[in-house]
Amino acid sequence: MASTFHKIGMATMLAGLTTGGVAMAQPSGSEGRTIEGTWYIQVTPIICATGAPVPGVTPITGLVTFHAGGTMSETAGGTGFAPGQRSPGHGKWRHEAGQTFSQKFTALINFTTVPGFQEAGWQTVEQSAELLDRDTLSSAGTNAFYRTDGTLYRSGCSTATGHRFE
């Protein structure tokens, strides 16, 4: 049972990681590129040290919207959290260079379901995405979970693919 909770939680924890990494390049006067629009994301939790998929964890889906002006919103799918336990993510994105974009967001964890694994507090996600073409991307990044007192209790890595929602 604990192993199942661990796998589900690991998958959910990492879902946010890459859901923010999808982007579409469009001309922009000042930066030369921007990312705006809504994207369907599929996240694969990985072992940070090896890059191998976490055994027994299925990919997680999510939606990310990059808003004009550099803000973003994210909703992670999956069953790793109880209903109402995790808020949508809110954050920012930035064009780095060429076809590379970065994003960072946070989501609130409203209550504890599994002590030491899914505790009340918040999750942060940092991601880098590379556009492969106008409608697809590949991304990778990290995430961290904090208790309400600010102590880190869990972190992880993931990769993702994204497809523009039309």
Whether 4 has a pLDDT exceeding 90, the answer reads no
Whether 22 has a pLDDT exceeding 50, the answer reads no
Whether 101 has a pLDDT exceeding 90, the answer reads yes
Residue 165: band (very low, low, confident or very high) from pLDDT cuts 50, 70, 90: very high
What is the C-alpha separation between 10 and 49, in angstroms, rounded? 15
Residue 34: band (very low, low, confident or very high) from pLDDT cuts 50, 70, 90: low
CATH architecture type of domain 2-164: Beta Barrel (2.40)
What is the C-alpha separation between 98 and 92, in angstroms, rounded? 18
Phi, psi at residue 78, to the nearest 5°? 100, 180
Domain-by-domain residue ranges, the chain? 2-164
**pLDDT tens for each residue of 35-94:** 788 999 999 999 999 999 999 988 889 999 989 999 999 999 887 888 999 999 999 999
| Contact (Cβ atoms closer than 8 angstroms) between residue 27 and residue 33 | yes
